[in-house]
Amino acid sequence: MPNDITPIRASTQEFAEIEDIRDSLVLLAEGSCVLIVETTAVNFGLLSEKEQEALIYAYSGLLNSLSFPIQIYLRSKHKDISGYLKKLEIAEHAQTNPTQASRIKRYREFVATTVKERNVLDKKFYIVIPFSVLELGPTNVKSLVAKKRLPYPKEYILSRAKTVLTPKRDHVLRQLNRLGLKGQHLSTQKLIELFHDIYNQEASFNPIDVAGNTTAMVSAQPW
Residues 34-72: tens digit of each pLDDT? 999 999 988 888 889 999 999 999 899 999 999 999 999
pLDDT higher than threshold 90 for residue 146: no
The one-letter code for the residue type at 25 is: L
The answer to whether 49 touches 62, Cβ cutoff 8 Å, is no
CA gap 196, 194 in Å, rounded: 6
Section 123-133 average pLDDT: 93
CA gap 85, 108 in Å, rounded: 6
Residue 141's contacts (CB-CB under 8 Å, 6 or more residues apart) are 30, 31, 133, 134, 151
pTM attached to this predicted model: 0.70
pLDDT higher than threshold 70 for residue 185: yes
Query: What residue ranges do the domains of the chain occupy?
Result: 9-76+122-222, 80-119
Amino acid 112: pLDDT: 83
pLDDT cut 90: percent of the chain above it: 42
* CB atoms inside a 10 Å sphere around CB 165: 21
Amino acid 208: pLDDT: 46
